[in-house]
A and B are shown apart, each in its own frame.
Chain A
Amino acid sequence: MALLELDQVSFNYGPITAVRDLSLDVEEGKIVALLGRNGAGKSTTLSGIAGLLKPRTGRISFEGNPLPRSQVSRVARMGVAYVPEGRGVLGGLTVEENLNAAAFGHGLDRREARIEIDRVLEHFPAISSRMNQRAGTMSGGEQQMMVLMRATLTRPRLLLVDEPGLGLAPIIVRAVYDQLIELNRDEGLSVLLVEQYVELAVETADQVYVLQKGELVHSGPCSDVEATTDLVATYVG
């Protein structure tokens, strides 16, 4: 049984169907990439899993149980962390407050929050000197790191992350991806990743799904990076 299973799921905005009959699995401990052009329905899929949209048809199950429909905070507390497009930094709060908000949201007290923050700081040592800075004043790369740190703080089973490299310099993008791979390797975190850069995604992921205009057009493993990249590029181009 996969950790996350989507079975014939459709999402729509009013009369417009953005994703149609999508079936998708994320196995425990794997990184899965969801690829496709702009407007293909990738972000819609992630936010739907996170509970921000109600699926019009189909079922979403997590660890074998159906995910509560459109109860965003409950989905989060069940162990699904979602880093949305545009990162979702609480810019007016300090970095520490951002981290604490996630910890308190998951019912941790101050002491437990401190322990978890110290734990994840090992993965993100650069953030430790920024704890009292207002999150909105950090650079884009630092914000992305902070958000990944905040998402993993509460020991989620699954991380949904939407275009983490968007708007960042290539070297920073590399660092963000290394971080993702490290979290996957060291903490066994399963990841569903949305990305525009096919090559980067294929290198990182164990499995890819390709969406086109809301429909699944390809899925398969990424054993051969070059071949998979070429194949996916025929859809995404």
Chain B
Amino acid sequence: MDLYIAAIVSGAAVGGTYALMAVGITHVFNVTRVLNFAHAGLVLWGANIYASLTFEREWPVVLAALAAIAVVTLMGLVSEVLVFRFAERATPVKKAIMTFGLLMVMLAVAVRIYGQEPRAAISLMPRGGFDFIGTRVSWQQGTNLLLAALVVGGMGMFLQSTRRGLLTRAMAEDETVTQLLGVSRSSVARLNWAIASALAGLTGVLIASLGVFFTGQFVFLFFVGLTASLVGGLRSLGLAALGGIAIGVIQNVTTVAWSAIGAGQVAIFVAVVALVLLRRKWPDEVSNLAWSKPEAEDGSRAWLVGRVALVLGWGALILAIINDDIWGTTGVTVLIYTLVAYSFVPLTGWTGQISLGHGGLMAVGAYTLGEAYIYHELPFGVAILAVVVVGAFVGTLLGLLTFRLGFVQTAVVTLSFASVVVSWLLFTSLTHTTAGRLAVFAPGYLDTGRSLFVGIGVVTIVVAGVLWSLRNSHWGTVTLAIRTNADMVRHFGVSPVRARVGAFAISGAIAGLGGAALILLISITGPATFGLTLSLTVLLYAVVGGTESLLGPLTGSLVLIALPKALDLTQSGNTTTSDIIAGVAIIYLMTTRWDGLSGILKRPASSKARGLLGSRGGVADADATEMASTSPA
């Protein structure tokens, strides 16, 4: 029993930082209807700056905390200009994706400067603590809880009792009407963005003060904060904060009850699913991901130049691999991201859904391969088949969970799925691994960079071919209409639900193959490889390339991975350069109406008739031609 009391008390103490995270996310969402991924990036920078100032420069803690908060607030204001000034008329979903790009840039730059190793800071509060119902609570934990309560109270006062607070609430209720009353939207937005950023800075300082932290942790913290925000329906700051504390408690109590590492995450996943499925009324948000693309201007040959460049790019990569096996690894990495990007084509490009959990599906694929091929010693081909089947099955489950959810809820459920897969792998007896260590050695005919490149290349071509014929089938034609008009689709005898879930199943199978390819490349790994960051990265690269055209996946990873490598910009062992480029690219792309980089490759309607590339005209044909000519095999 004492163990449980201790778990509750210390869980609540940890929950203080979750609460602060949730309050920041909820506040921005309330005012702007934008799910602000960049919040995690700001918290991360707050923690890192504070750690550097206190630990390395030995500044006094209070001064360091204030400086960290000031810098982060400034970063937040710059982000606000980027996202909201630059793209004022973009939909909330597009703005959310822009903040996602910002997060990736902030993450990657932080990894470059501060590294991925655990870091320490000097705590804001002195060491030691006090006893609370027989449980030791450190001064820092107590302070975090107290500050969370003060922040909620202070924000409530601001909103209820100040002039700016009233205008903020008015703006949150109806932007147009409030502007008609003479209120400038940008000044209200800027103020609240500054408040949320300062809060992010404070959150970072408090997290760093709790003990050792590392960069990858913040995406998980963001996800926990987002879950807590759901408790408050993305509206109530007080409930969001309570949700944060409750999650801290649930996490600790389940860990005590099951004494397993991933138990806390499983509990959160269950809570997320329950919250999302039980709550009927959500603040309205635009959940449609589709963006229509204008035709390229008549006479412009940009698309042709782009396609030639694409062919030359793949050609150069293949030549490099033939010349030097070292390039094999790069080539395989490009192909893996291409393959996973294809998994977003039916999901995002065709049915307008999103997934922040594809790292989890990749893990499913990798561990299935390990089980089937290494543990059960099945023939390699059969094992790959198992990967496809299991991937499709798990994808279907995810699809069933999310098909009727909006953008924000889907983001949380899929993130939660990824976090649960990764932590579950650490202790589950489902796979025959120890602490999730996975070792898969490719069969002899695939064990050089070159041969693996050819092997995955063949799989990629098959996948692209399957997608191509799917899109040209009756199902594909009707499904493509879902993003714009679900009712019409129903009319043609295709159930929108089945189409959405079906897209998730296909996507799961392809992502599983991507995960299997990844483990064949790195041979030995642990669950951390498939952490939340991988989920975010694969989504980012896919959207940068474009998810509607089948050329998109071929474009994104080539430009993002092979090009920086060729220009010798990459640091070995991480993807920060690619992430920075991708983050910046996505921010820009969201201000256009293109389907990612492949938007440049789209042939204007006027030149289709002339049949410059395809035999019968039509983009799909051209895609197929393109694919054949760029195939690595």
Contact = CB atoms under 8 A, between A and B. Distances in A.
B113 interface: no
Interface stretch (A59-67, A82-90, A124-132, A200-208): A82-90
A84 B177 contact: yes
A97 interface: yes
B169 A150 contact: no
A109 B185 CA distance: 19
Interface string B130-173: 00000000000000000000000000000000010011011001
A104 B164 CA distance: 8
Nearest to B160: A97
B181 interface: yes
* Interface bracket on B: 10 to 19
A88 B166 contact: no
Given A90-B170, A97-B170, A100-B166, A52 B176 contact: yes
A105 B173 contact: no
A77 B178 CA distance: 12
A50 B177 CA distance: 11
Interface string A61-99: 000000000001110110001101000111111000100
A74 B174 CA distance: 17
A4 B173 CA distance: 31
B420 to A, nearest CB: 36
A211 to B, nearest CB: 22
Contacts of B163: 100, 104, 109-110
Contacts of A105: 167, 178, 181-183
Contact of A73 (B166, B174, B179): B179
Given A104-B166, A105-B167, A88 B183 contact: no
B163 to A, nearest CB: 5
B184 interface: yes
A52 B176 CA distance: 8
B182 A90 contact: no
Contacts of B466: none
B166 to A, nearest CB: 6
A101 interface: yes
Contacts of B176: 52, 72, 84, 88
A144 interface: no
A88 B176 CA distance: 9
A154 interface: yes
Given A90-B173, A90-B174, A93-B173, A101 B166 contact: yes
A89 B167 CA distance: 14
A101 B174 contact: no
Candidate in B169, B170, B185 with the most chain A CB atoms within 10 angstroms:
B170
Contacts of A101: 166-167, 170, 178, 181, 183
B274 interface: no
B180 interface: yes
A93 B170 contact: yes
B301 to A, nearest CB: 26
A72 B185 CA distance: 9
A88 B180 contact: yes
A197 B40 CA distance: 55
Contact of B169 (A88, A93, A109): A93
B182 A154 contact: yes
Contacts of B173: 90-93
Contacts of B169: 92-93, 97
A106 interface: yes
B185 A73 contact: yes
B177 to A, nearest CB: 4
Contact of B180 (A76, A104, A107): A76
A102 interface: yes
A104 B167 contact: yes
Max chain B C-beta neighbours (<10 A), residue from A72, A100, A106, A107: A72
A76 B170 contact: no
Contacts of B184: 73-74
A174 B126 CA distance: 71
A115 to B, nearest CB: 15
Nearest to B178: A101
A72 B182 CA distance: 7
A154 B183 CA distance: 12
A152 B183 CA distance: 16
A93 B160 CA distance: 11
B166 A97 contact: yes
Nearest to B187: A73
A77 B181 CA distance: 8
B182 A73 contact: yes
B167 A76 contact: no
A102 B166 contact: no
Contact of A76 (B166, B174, B179): B179
B102 to A, nearest CB: 26
A82 B181 CA distance: 8
A72 B180 contact: yes
B180 A77 contact: no
Contacts of B178: 90, 101, 105
Nearest to A104: B163
Nearest to A86: B177
Contact of A88 (B177, B182, B185): B177
A73 B170 contact: no
Contacts of B166: 93, 97, 100-101, 104
Nearest to A160: B180
Contacts of A76: 179-182
Interface string A22-62: 00000000000000000000000000001010000000000
B182 A102 contact: yes
Nearest to B169: A93
A90 B177 contact: yes
Contacts of A92: 169, 173
A167 B52 CA distance: 63
A85 to B, nearest CB: 12
Contacts of A102: 181-182
Contact of B179 (A72, A100, A109): A72
B177 A73 contact: no
B182 A82 contact: no
Contacts of B167: 101, 104-105
Contacts of A52: 176
B159 to A, nearest CB: 11
A84 B177 CA distance: 8
A182 to B, nearest CB: 22
B415 to A, nearest CB: 30
A105 B177 CA distance: 11
A88 B178 CA distance: 9
Interface string B240-255: 0000000000000000
A88 B174 contact: yes
Interface string B77-118: 000000000000000000000000000000000000000000
Contacts of A107: 182
- Which 7 pairs show the lowest CB-CB distances between chains A and B? A105-B182, A105-B183, A76-B182, A88-B177, A72-B179, A105-B181, A102-B181
Given A93-B170, A100-B166, A107-B182, 13 more contacts: A50-B180, A73-B182, A73-B183, A73-B185, A76-B182, A84-B176, A88-B180, A89-B177, A90-B170, A90-B173, A97-B170, A100-B163, A101-B167
15 contacts: A52-B176, A81-B180, A82-B180, A88-B174, A88-B176, A88-B177, A90-B170, A90-B173, A97-B166, A97-B169, A101-B178, A102-B181, A105-B178, A105-B181, A109-B163
Interface of B: 163, 166-167, 169-170, 173-174, 176-185
